[in-house]
Amino acid sequence: MTDGDDRQLREVTIESNEVFSGKLLHLRVDDVELPDGTRSKREIVVHRGAVAAVALNNASEVLLVRQWRHPAGEALLEIPAGTCEEGEEAEETLRRELAEEISCRADRIEHLADLYVAPGYSTELIRLYLATELASACGEADADENIEIVTLPLEEALEMCRDGRLRDGKTVSGLLLAAQRLGVQ
């Protein structure tokens, strides 16, 4: 979605070279022509995309996961999330991740937003959802994930967004969007 004509801003890819191919992402370097005719390089992380959900139980509590994030060098409190598998639809990924990470299924799922995670260098688009009417479900956690489930009142989680105790972007965005959808301040 754009807010007008972007032709005067558009960069044209002249050449694209993949320099790394991993399990989760790929890295490519694009040679681009800028609108003024000069050339530049863009280093791009190519990602399949991800989903995340604000999982809210009947007591208006949010189910979060606390896990070590090696690049950040700390444990972060986050909404359940995961990367889409090849050929997997977003809601299918979401249901799988809710079962794996918080052992729940959601009988009601509402789309909140699609957000680019870091558009300056990554193609990753994350789809945010509100998951309610939760019930217990079995799911097998990823072998390399060590997570703790943390349940907080929605109002407390929102306060943590405002005072900086929650620092994960998708979590802050998801919680604020969910609160707006629910009419909670």
CA distance 80 to 97: 7
Task: Tell me the pLDDT tens digit for each residue of 149-181.
Answer: 999 999 999 999 999 999 999 999 999 999 999
- Least confidently predicted of 42-56, 60-74, 79-93, 132-146: 132-146
Amino acid residing at 117: V
Rg of the chain taking only CA atoms, in angstroms? 19
Q: Encoding tokens for residue 172?
A: 């802050």
Beta-ladder partners of 115: 126
Place of tokens 């688009």: 125
pTM score above 0.85: yes
Average pLDDT over residues 27-44: 98
For helices 169-182 and 154-163, the axis angle rounded to 10 degrees is 130
Coil, strand or helix: which one is 58?
coil
**Is residue 1 over pLDDT 60?**
no
Question: What local confidence, expressed as pLDDT, does residue 138 receive?
Answer: 73
Coil, strand or helix: which one is 68?
strand
Beta strands in the chain (DSSP E): 12-21, 25-33, 39-47, 50-56, 61-69, 74-78, 81-83, 104-116, 125-136, 147-153
Q: Encoding tokens for residue 14?
A: 């002249």
Task: Tell me the pLDDT tens digit for each residue of 69-124.
Answer: 999 999 999 999 999 999 999 999 999 999 999 999 999 999 999 999 999 999 99
